[in-house]
């Protein structure tokens, strides 16, 4: 069994812990040692029999463990790289987790630390960077490029040849037309339909989409 620690003690961590039996049945067996989270309110919390054992910057105390990046939310997604950097871990210490019920093309490439939820489709020649999270029932079609630390919420759909910069967040049910570019740090509201490029660091929503507020990176 592979000893494992999870960064983050929120909903994504709960999901991953729930996957462990399915991952074991598929031939990848983990033993979760605990969770690390910087939120003082979560200190000593227990999720699915796994306790919060310390802060993210204490990860180096477990040199023999593998790690999962379960960080990121609509409020913190632009800062995931900074939080991971505080762990002192290099990308080779992170597991790339693909749920057995996901479909990944043999020509797709997933970066280290990525999480691919069940019932997702990752098509031919997709390139996903490090620490990318794709939630359930999402579809990423051929030739898409997804930047590091980007998050696709459930039921998002990227048509072919879409590119996302680093640190993007696509809300639940967002749809992006083929050939579109979404700039670094952009946030797409749930249910949005993206027909044109989105500038970096902008927050947009609606059908058709419109800017909601500027963001200062």
CA pair distance 187, 129, nearest whole angstrom: 18
Phi, psi of 106 (to 5 degrees): -65, -20
Q: Which of 198, 186, 211 is nearest to 78 (CA)?
A: 186
CA pair distance 181, 203, nearest whole angstrom: 14
2-93 matches 97-213 in fold: no
CA pair distance 178, 131, nearest whole angstrom: 23
Fold (topology level) of 97-213: UDP N-Acetylglucosamine Acyltransferase; domain 1 (2.160.10)
pTM, full prediction: 0.94
pLDDT by residue, tens only, the chain of 217 residues: 999 999 999 999 999 999 999 999 999 999 999 999 999 999 889 999 999 999 999 999 999 999 999 998 888 899 999 999 999 999 999 999 999 999 999 999 999 999 999 999 999 999 999 999 999 999 999 999 999 999 999 999 999 999 999 999 999 999 999 999 999 999 999 999 999 999 999 999 999 888 886 555 5
Q: Top-level CATH class of 2-93?
A: alpha beta
Phi, psi of 39 (to 5 degrees): -75, 115
Q: Which of 54, 78, 75 is nearest to 6 (CA)?
A: 54
DSSP 134-179: E-TT-EE-TT-EE-TT-EE-TT-EE-TT-EE-TT-EE-TT-EE-TT
Domain ranges of the chain: 2-93, 97-213
Phi, psi of 89 (to 5 degrees): -90, 145
Q: Mark whether 137 is an active-site residue.
A: no
- Give me the catalytic one of 99, 142, 167, 201: 142
């Amino acid at each position: 069994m592979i000893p494992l620690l999870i960064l983050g003690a929120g909903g994504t961590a709960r999901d991953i812990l729930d996957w462990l039996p399915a991952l074991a049945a598929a031939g990848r067996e983990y033993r979760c040692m605990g969770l690390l989270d910087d939120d003082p309110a979560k200190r000593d919390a227990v999720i699915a029999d796994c306790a919060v054992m310390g802060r993210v910057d204490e990860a180096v105390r477990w040199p023999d463990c593998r790690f999962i990046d379960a960080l990121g939310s609509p409020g913190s997604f632009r800062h995931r790289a900074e939080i991971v950097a505080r762990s002192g871990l290099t990308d080779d210490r992170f597991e790339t987790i693909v749920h057995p019920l996901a479909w990944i093309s043999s020509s797709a490439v997933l970066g280290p630390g990525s999480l691919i939820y069940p019932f997702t489709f990752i098509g031919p020649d997709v390139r996903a960077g490090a620490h990318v999270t794709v939630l359930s029932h999402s579809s990423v079609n051929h030739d898409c490029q997804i930047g590091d630390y980007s998050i696709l919420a459930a039921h998002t759909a990227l048509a072919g040849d879409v590119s996302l910069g680093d640190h993007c967040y696509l809300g639940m049910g967002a749809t992006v037309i083929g050939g579109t570019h979404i700039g670094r740090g952009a946030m797409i509201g749930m249910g949005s339909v993206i027909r044109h490029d989105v500038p970096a660091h902008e927050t947009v929503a609606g059908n058709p989409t419109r800017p909601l507020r500027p963001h200062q990176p």
